[in-house]
Amino acid sequence: MALWAQMTPKLQYLPTETLNELYPDTFPLDIRHYLASWIEEQRWENFDVDNMEQEPQARRLLDQMVHLLQEVAQHNPNVVERVKLQHISRNLSVFQQQPMQLVRTVRDILRKESHLLQIPQGPLPTNGTPQPAREDGKTDVDNLVLKVLEIQSCRQTLHQLQEDLNWEKQEMESIQGQNELDPQHSDQVTRQNRIQQLEYNYSVCAKKRMQLLQEAVCALELCQSCLILRIKSWRWEQHRATIGLHFDDNLGPLQTWCEQLLGVNSNLRQELMLVKRDHGGVEQFHTLQESLAHLLQTLIQNSLVVDKQPPQVIKTQSKFSTTVRYLLGEKMAPGKPVLLKAQIITEAQARQGVVPNENVGELINSTAILEHNTASKNTCATFRNMSIRKIKRADRKGSESVTEEKFALFFTTELTITGCESPYSIQTISLPVVVIVHGSQEINAMATIIWDCAFSEPSRIPFIVPERVPWKQMCEALSSKFMSEVQTQQGLDRYNFHFLAQKIFDQPDISEDFSNMPVSWAQFNKEVLPGRNFTFWQWFEGVMDLTKKCLRDYWSEKLIFGFIGKQHLHVILQNKPNGTFLLRFSDSEIGGITIAYVGPTDNGGRKIQNIQPFTKKDLDSAGLGDRIRDINCITHVYPDLPKNEVFKKFFTVHSHSHPSAQMEQIGQDTMPIIFLDQKALL
């Protein structure tokens, strides 16, 4: 538990992103905390994660872990923690099919913790709170290079000591046999002492050399683990960019890092060969040699990344492109061209992580050459005119549709790195894609992709996603996707979220906080909304599309209230004078915006009415600004701003009575302020 004791005080200063990478959803921080002693007692490093014969041993560890967690949960007096731990223990079942994945996960966590503890703590600001240390790897690589230089210096010292020894021994042989009375006897004793001192120095230096090599290999392993973690993080950020989250696609720093570690590995392998020449094959030498060979293979195989992803919704018979980049491209051995091959694979094949033996789809233009650009120093294979001619579907379960089935592109090649004797087989896969045959399937397919990238875990088994997520998590995804799609900095607010929750949960009269209420995939895009013939996502996507194409500036300047329910609409307009209006998205029509306003009743009262929604087709013929200007019964946009001042910049033609801008009257009522709904509040 020594490692966890050191790690615990550092956790509060780590960025959230680092914590999420360190403790994935498949192995949350709670397991590390409650089972710290047991975890550190197990021999995770003794596993060869590629050796399937060790699976039974890994499965026993999984069973022990589940049992221990259940015991901890049973004896926990806190009911919230108890339920949470029971839930976590059940979730560990994701490892049942691949228990070696558990070993890999725990081992990586322990390695990363050790590495983080070696990073110096950042400087203290004026308030005394430690700043998180930078994890760009530059300091680690610099230290590695210094270690290699120290090893080389040690070797040179040993070489000099060996030469001095050889000389002294040769001189010693020429004066041997003299008796103690000989005047030159004292010279013999001096040389003997000098030889003993040189042999001692040589022994000390040789031990230091081996120790430095062991330290360097260990440091290289930690540094490379950090690099691979960062590459995975880059891929994860690329995945999350689908819902609009920030993504820096610059691979330059990671490429430099890869190349530096390859250089360090090469230098250390050379030094080990020289150790073998000088001292013969000792056990330590073989262990270090195997470690470096494994690190080299891991680095070479993890340096292939999909730089430009294919579209995540692909229509058969349609052209698309994708680019795969090799971060060690400059280090490839010259000679024959390196050909990259693409295949389409199923979700089940993606989990196997090996070259599939069955083709599930026919790809056109599925090969490309890894070409090096000397100007940009990038080595990429670009598939410019790829197409899926046909696709073989898996047997669907229950009500599962073709737009819920996920595939991926699987890229493979074989290449040789300069300085390495044997070629390496490397591979990588794209983000999940959904294959459709008709444009009408695109919106539902995109729903599958949105759910996948918004709610999947960083270190998941491909392509597992939760069936339910907390509503607050859904809110973050919806707002981020909305801003990204519309290209605006104006996101959704808490009033919008509340209305959306009332809609998706079908609880229009509930005013409680929905934050922690679970929302399911079925509620998102499988079940139609009550009284409608479309799903929540289909309706929300229609709003995004309308806003992107016709209403971006109105939304960005907060002139559109957007998502608002009956109760909230009534509350904010009930005391407003006639002519007060606001813009809201239609509740009953996909891709429509309507005007809710306060108007007079026949008996002198007031009522809230809704104008027939405007669709993209309507707004293409006359913009929203012109339509607002031409409707005489609306005068002030909520709360009390004159419409002609607020919307003046959007007016494009002289005032006229546009036929499509006329209001449809919606019935009468004797109450002073009432809702008279058109299309059930449009």
Q: What is the pLDDT of residue 132?
A: 35
User: Which residue shows structure tokens 């007031």?
Assistant: 606
Q: What is the pLDDT of residue 666?
A: 39
What is the Cα gyration radius of the chain?
34
Q: What is the pLDDT of residue 512?
A: 81
Structure confidence by residue, pLDDT tens digits, 270-315? 999 998 887 766 677 888 989 999 999 999 999 999 999 999 999 9
Q: If you average pLDDT over each of 163-172, 323-332, 392-401, 563-572, which comes out highest?
A: 323-332
642: tokens are 């004159």
Q: How far is CA 90 from the centre of its chain?
A: 24
Name the pLDDT band for 117 (thresholds 50, 70, 90): confident
Given a contact cutoff of 8 angstroms between Cβ atoms, the answer to whether 625 and 651 are in contact is: yes
Given a contact cutoff of 8 angstroms between Cβ atoms, the answer to whether 389 and 317 are in contact is: yes
Which one is predicted more confidently, 453 or 71?
453
Strand 361-364 to 339-346 pairing: unpaired
Distance, in Å, from the CA atom of 99 to the CA atom of 102, rounded to the nearest integer, reads 5
Q: How many helices (H) and strands (E) does the chain have?
A: 22, 18
Which one is predicted more confidently, 508 or 558?
558
Which one is predicted more confidently, 442 or 14?
442
Please determine, for residue 671, whether its predicted confidence score (pLDDT) is greater than 50: no
Given a contact cutoff of 8 angstroms between Cβ atoms, the answer to whether 629 and 593 are in contact is: no
67: tokens are 């049992």
* Nearest residue to 598 (alpha-carbon basis) of 567, 564, 560, 572: 572
Out of 1.10.532.10, 3.40.50.620, 3.30.429.10, 3.40.47.10, the CATH code matching 3-118 is 1.10.532.10
Name the pLDDT band for 387 (thresholds 50, 70, 90): very high
Q: Domain limits of the chain?
A: 3-118, 136-176+189-300, 310-393+401-465, 469-650
Which one is predicted more confidently, 678 or 475?
475
Mean pLDDT to the nearest integer, 262-267: 95
Please work out, in degrees rounded to the nearest 5, the angle formed at the alpha carbon of residue 589 by the alpha carbons of 584 and 593: 25
Distance, in Å, from the CA atom of 156 to the CA atom of 168, rounded to the nearest integer, reads 18
Q: What is the pLDDT of residue 124?
A: 35
Name the pLDDT band for 670 (thresholds 50, 70, 90): very low
570: tokens are 């009534």
Beta strands in 295-338 (DSSP E): 304-308, 313-315, 320-326
Please determine, for residue 79, whether its predicted confidence score (pLDDT) is greater than 90: no
Distance, in Å, from the CA atom of 278 to the CA atom of 416, rounded to the nearest integer, reads 29
Q: What is the pLDDT of residue 676?
A: 37
171: tokens are 């001189």
Mean pLDDT to the nearest integer, 10-19: 73
Say if residue 508 is preceded by a cis peptide, omega within 30 of 0: no
Please determine, for residue 78, whether its predicted confidence score (pLDDT) is greater than 60: yes
C-beta neighbour count of 254 within 10 angstroms: 20
480: tokens are 């981020």
Name the pLDDT band for 147 (thresholds 50, 70, 90): confident
Q: What is the pLDDT of residue 177?
A: 60
Name the pLDDT band for 426 (thresholds 50, 70, 90): very high
Structure confidence by residue, pLDDT tens digits, 219-255? 999 999 999 999 999 999 999 999 999 999 999 999 9
C-beta neighbour count of 636 within 10 angstroms: 20
User: In the CATH scheme, what architecture does the domain 136-176+189-300 have?
Assistant: Up-down Bundle (1.20)
Please determine, for residue 402, whether its predicted confidence score (pLDDT) is greater than 50: yes
Q: What is the pLDDT of residue 601?
A: 85
* Nearest residue to 410 (alpha-carbon basis) of 490, 322, 493: 322
Name the pLDDT band for 138 (thresholds 50, 70, 90): low
Distance, in Å, from the CA atom of 327 to the CA atom of 253, rounded to the nearest integer, reads 10
Name the pLDDT band for 111 (thresholds 50, 70, 90): confident
Contacts of 412 (CB under 8 A, 6+ apart): 340, 341, 343, 355, 425, 426, 427
Distance, in Å, from the CA atom of 638 to the CA atom of 573, rounded to the nearest integer, reads 8
pTM, two decimal places = 0.74
Distance, in Å, from the CA atom of 438 to the CA atom of 82, rounded to the nearest integer, reads 48
For the chain, give the percent of residues with pLDDT over 90.
Answer: 54
Phi/psi region, residue 202 (left: phi>0; alpha: psi -120 to 50; beta: rest), is alpha
Mean pLDDT to the nearest integer, 646-669: 57
Name the pLDDT band for 257 (thresholds 50, 70, 90): very high
Q: What is the pLDDT of residue 119?
A: 61
Q: What is the pLDDT of residue 1?
A: 56
Distance, in Å, from the CA atom of 582 to the CA atom of 609, rounded to the nearest integer, reads 11
Distances (CA, A) of 317 to 162, 183, 361, 435: 71, 100, 12, 11
DSSP string, 359-386: --EEEES-EEE-EEETTTTEEEEEEEEE
Please tell me the CATH code under which domain 469-650 is placed: 3.30.505.10
Name the pLDDT band for 567 (thresholds 50, 70, 90): confident
Distances (CA, A) of 407 to 233, 445, 509, 594: 21, 12, 41, 39
162: tokens are 């060996």
662: tokens are 């006329």
Please determine, for residue 130, whether its predicted confidence score (pLDDT) is greater than 80: no
* Nearest residue to 385 (alpha-carbon basis) of 321, 340, 305, 432: 321
DSSP string, 50-92: T-GGGHHHHHHHHHHHHHHHHHHHHT-S-HHHHHHHHHHHHHG
Please determine, for residue 359, whether its predicted confidence score (pLDDT) is greater than 60: yes
Q: What is the pLDDT of residue 178?
A: 58
Sign of CA dihedral 168, 174, 180, 183: negative
> In the predicted model, what is the mean pLDDT of the chain?
86
Out of 1.10.606.20, 2.60.40.630, 3.40.50.300, 2.40.50.100, the CATH code matching 310-393+401-465 is 2.60.40.630
Distance, in Å, from the CA atom of 239 to the CA atom of 456, rounded to the nearest integer, reads 10
Please determine, for residue 81, whether its predicted confidence score (pLDDT) is greater than 90: no
Distance, in Å, from the CA atom of 493 to the CA atom of 564, rounded to the nearest integer, reads 11
The HSE-up count of residue 151 (CA atoms within 13 Å, CB side) is: 25
215: tokens are 């330290």
Structure confidence by residue, pLDDT tens digits, 177-223? 655 556 556 777 888 888 898 888 888 888 888 889 999 999 999 99
* Nearest residue to 92 (alpha-carbon basis) of 23, 18, 33, 28: 28
Structure confidence by residue, pLDDT tens digits, 527-551? 999 999 999 999 999 999 999 999 9
Q: What is the pLDDT of residue 668?
A: 30
Please determine, for residue 129, whether its predicted confidence score (pLDDT) is greater than 50: no
Which one is predicted more confidently, 5 or 338?
338
